Chains A and B, each alone.
Chain A
Amino acid sequence: MIVIADDLDRDARNNAESGISSSQTAILVFVPLFLLIGLSTLLYISSSVVRRLKTLTTSVEQIGEHFVPSEEVMRESGGHMDEVDVLVEKTRIVNNKLNDWEQELHEKNEELIRSKKLAAIGTLASGVAHELNNPINNITISAQVLQRKIAGDAPPEVTQIVDEIIGQTLRVKGIVSNLLEFAREREPQLSTVQLPEVVRNAYEQVIRSTDTMDVEFTLDTRDEISIRADAGQLERVFINLFSNAVAVMEGKGRLTVKMEEEDGSVVIWVSDTGKGLSREDQEKIFDPFFTRREKGTGLGLAIVMNIIRQHGGGITVVSEKGMGTVFEIHLPKGAD
């Protein structure tokens, strides 16, 4: 019984031992094999990654080199940079530039839309204005004939109504001529004009149509500043600015014009002591049809802007609510 058990035991142990030795052989063979396969796969993958990274690096380098040469980046960093740092720095710079460009593109686009919109408004305005010419003329003439017919023997309120009709047609006439002035992209007819004279003429025109009794007008300038410009259009610019100022000051305050020559150009400041402009309004005042006045058409400053631009100049506004307003105009003097 026991002998049989011993035999069985030995058999089993032999079996087990041969099993162990064969699996040892397997380990000896397969582990290095797998290791080899694994390593070479890894090597393959990593070398392909490195190769691609290199390509990427080269293209980033090329883009970067286009914007900022490596030497410059190195110089600015004081030379404490390895290649990767330079690359990172360059990517940052490129990124910044792209952002700037996007911003610029956006602004240009807005400007384009604005000028297209203005052109469209201009075409429409001029079409409407021309169509209005005849009906307004008819109304005015009819009212004038009526006025002549009833002269002397109509009840006062009838005479008054007829006068009102005529007054209102004059108002429409004003709006229509503003519309046309705005719509008309007339090339300036250049001649040599004396700026102070234009300014004085413009103010005289404003005096004629508005109450300026309590406005103190000052023109601070050398006697002669001449530029090449369209005299009529420039006068329009100052008439519009002055009548705005007088309106805002409600006929009481100081209106000052100052001008200085810089080489090749003239700077003109028109300032008033009116109620000023909110930041929000400052952005909009040059838009056509923007107005805060009950009887305004909102075209005055749009016309001003058009004329100044056509002369190759610029106009900006500085104001603070309650502190008055200053318009600054730059105009090239033009060839003489």
Chain B
Amino acid sequence: MTFRVLVAEDEEIARKHILDTLEAEGYEVEGADNGLDALREIEADEFDLLIADIKMPKMDGLELLERVRQVSPGTKVIVVTGYGSINSAVTAMKEGAYDYLPKPFDLDELVLKINKARERKSL
């Protein structure tokens, strides 16, 4: 069963590496470098999971989360926060995020979280 992941992250290096790593783990992946493009992708296509950076141009992660909850409630959202943004992580969880990850994160940890989300889906 395919599991489609969209990575919304404006930092190119981080985005590229996350995409490569997830692809190597057998996921089907797409990338977006701002919140608005990510929303368009989700409106146009189906995704099981969205990884959204909190700080992004055009539309930030929290707003993106809110919109995705409306247009595609089936898409799980993992929010990536900076340091000292425990507050925004809490807000994200209240707004219905599936999980959050503080920067700088461990790739293994990210993969682990996504694997869990996939297992849940296949149950």
| B-binding residues in A (CB < 8 A) | 126, 129-130, 133-134, 136-142, 144-145, 148, 169, 173, 176-177, 180-181, 183-184
Q: Are A142 and B13 in contact (CB under 8 A)?
A: yes
Q: Is there contact, CB below 8 Å, between B103 and A137?
A: yes
Cβ-closest chain B residue relative to A184: B84
A218–B18 alpha-carbon span in the complex (Å): 46
Closest 8 CB pairs of A and B: A180-B84, A137-B104, A140-B104, A133-B82, A138-B13, A144-B107, A137-B103, A141-B17
Cβ-closest chain B residue relative to A140 = B104
Interface contact tally, CB-CB below 8 A: 58
Does any Cβ of A come within 8 Å of B106's Cβ? yes
Which residue in B14, B21, B83 is a CB contact (below 8 Å) of A176?
B83
Give residues of chain B (1-57) contacting chain A, Cβ–Cβ below 8 Å. Answer: 11, 13-14, 17-18, 20-21
Let me know if B83 and A141 touch, CB within 8 A.
no
CA distance A130 to B17 in the complex (A): 21
Do residues B21 and A148 form an inter-chain contact, with CB atoms below 8 A?
yes
With CB as the reference atom, state the residue of chain B lying closest to A176. B83
Q: State A295–B64 Cα separation when bound (angstroms).
A: 40
Contact assessment for B11 and A138 in the assembled complex, using a CB-CB cutoff below 8 Å: yes
Q: In the complex, which residues of chain A have a beta carbon less than 8 angstroms from the beta carbon of B11?
A: 134, 137-138
The smallest beta-carbon distance between B49 and chain A, in angstroms, is 18
**When chains A and B are docked, how far (Å) is the Cα of A142 from the Cα of B15?**
11
Q: Please determine whether A141 and B84 come into contact, CB atoms closer than 8 angstroms.
A: no
- Nearest chain-B residue to A186 (Cβ)? B87
Contact B107 A145 (CB under 8 A): yes
User: Could you tell me the distance in whole angstroms from the C-beta of A315 to the nearest C-beta in chain B?
Assistant: 23
Q: Is the interface of A mostly helix, strand, loop or mixed?
A: helix
**A residues less than 8 Å from B21 (CB atoms):** 145, 148
Other than A133-B83, A141-B17, A141-B18, give 9 A-B pairs with Cβ distance below 8 A: A133-B103, A137-B103, A140-B105, A144-B17, A144-B107, A145-B17, A145-B107, A177-B83, A183-B84
Give the number of residues in B that approach A within 8 Å (Cβ atoms): 16
Please give the distance in Å from B12's CB to the nearest CB on chain A: 9
Given contacts A130-B82, A177-B84, A184-B84, contact A136 B106 (CB under 8 A): no
Identify which of B17, B84, B106 gathers the most chain A CB atoms within 10 Å of its CB.
Answer: B84
Nearest chain B CB to A135's CB is how many angstroms away? 9
| Bound CA span A268–B30, Å | 55
Residues from chain B with a CB closer than 8 A to the CB of A140 are 104-106
- B residues less than 8 Å from A133 (CB atoms): 82-83, 103-104
Residues of A within 8 A of B14 (CB): 134, 137-138, 141
Q: Which of B13, B104, B107 contacts A169 (CB 8 A)?
A: B104
Q: Which residues of A contact B105 (CB under 8 A)?
A: 137, 140-141
Instruction: Give B109 Cβ to nearest chain A Cβ, in Å.
Output: 10
User: Which of A141, A148, A177, A184 has the most chain B CB within a 10 Å cutoff?
Assistant: A141
Question: What B residues does A134 contact at CB under 8 A?
Answer: 11, 14, 82, 103
Q: Given A134-B11, A134-B14, check contact A141 B82 (CB 8 Å).
A: no
Whose C-beta in chain A lies nearest to the C-beta of B12?
A: A138
Please report the C-alpha to C-alpha distance between residue A200 and residue B24 in the assembled complex, in whole angstroms: 43
Closest CB of chain A to B84's CB: distance in Å?
Answer: 3
Shortest distance from the beta carbon of B82 to any chain A beta carbon, whole Å: 4
Contacts of B17 in A (CB 8 A): 141-142, 144-145
Complex interface: chain A residues within 8 A of B84 (CB): 126, 129-130, 177, 180-181, 183-184
Query: How many angstroms from the CA of A124 to the CA of B108 in the assembled complex?
Result: 33
B20 touches A141 (CB 8 A): no
CA distance A180 to B20 in the complex (A): 31
Chain A CB within 10 Å — which of B18, B21, B104, B108 has the most? Answer: B104
- Cβ contacts under 8 Å, A145 to chain B: 17, 20-21, 107
Q: How near does chain B come to A142, taking the closest CB pair, in angstroms?
A: 6
